[in-house]
Amino acid sequence: MSTAEPACYSTPEESGLRVETLSFDRIPHQSRLFLDYLHDPVALREFYPSAVRFHHELSTRAAEVLAAHQTDRSTLCDALQDMNAAWGAGEETLKNIQLLREADCLAVVSGQQAGLFTGPLYTIYKALSAVKLAGCLTQRQTKAVPVFWIATEDHDFPEVAKARVHWS
């Protein structure tokens, strides 16, 4: 494969790529628990009491979550405002921090260690999952913003010191 091929500005069809869907159960070494969760998360409520079949069903838990997680939103959001602004955050992020000041706004929280060059690819997927879920809740008229908790307090430097590039 040439290393100068253009990446995906065009659609897969336009670029002549063959696109197939590969289900997780066709990938070797997946755990039974993981595959069962994908198939029917509600059947696993013994282990995951909050499991829902569809993401949008999480909006029904908003009141319960807001009651269970109370904090000083003003102090929290002042700190978030300062740190995100210092890191070059744009309007979308700052607007979400303002929204989080409101007592009925949920935070969809994901997180990961501060890996070199953002670390494993799943770090990005975790952050995007929070973005997607917050968007899903917002569409259902449940205020929600995506928050990514950076595990900066972790002491295990070897875990964040390496980055690998996989290319085939």
Residue selected from 11, 92, 103, 141 as contacting another protein according to rule CB under 8 A = 92
Tokens encoding 98: 């303002």
Tokens encoding 97: 């921090």
**Residue 36 phi, psi (nearest 5):** -65, -40
User: Among residues 21 and 31, whose Cβ is nearest to another protein?
Assistant: 31
Q: Report if residue 34 touches another protein, rule: CB under 8 A.
A: no
Residue selected from 23, 31, 71, 141 as contacting another protein according to rule CB under 8 A = 71
The distance of Cα 45 from the centroid of its chain, to the nearest Å, equals 22
Q: Kindly determine how many residues on this chain lie close enough to bind another protein according to the rule CB under 8 A.
A: 65
Contacts of 71-76 with C-beta under 8 Å, sequence gap 24+, read 73/100, 73/101, 73/102, 73/103, 74/101, 76/100
Q: Report if residue 162 touches another protein, rule: CB under 8 A.
A: yes
8-state DSSP, 59: G
Span from 19-27, 28-36, 39-47, 122-130 in contact with another protein (CB under 8 A): 122-130
Q: Report if residue 59 touches another protein, rule: CB under 8 A.
A: no
Q: Report if residue 28 touches another protein, rule: CB under 8 A.
A: no
Minimal distance, residue 26 CB to another protein, in Å:
26
Residue selected from 96, 105, 137, 142 as contacting another protein according to rule CB under 8 A = 96
Return the closest-CA partner of residue 55 out of 110, 129, 147, 145: 129
CA dihedral 95, 99, 101, 105 (to 10 degrees): -150
Minimal distance, residue 111 CB to another protein, in Å:
4
**Could you tell me which residues are beta bridge partners of residue 150?**
112
Interface residues toward another protein, by CB under 8 A:
3-7, 9, 50, 69, 71-72, 75-76, 78-80, 83-84, 86-90, 92-93, 95-97, 100, 107, 109-111, 113-118, 124, 127-128, 130-131, 134, 145-158, 160-165, 167
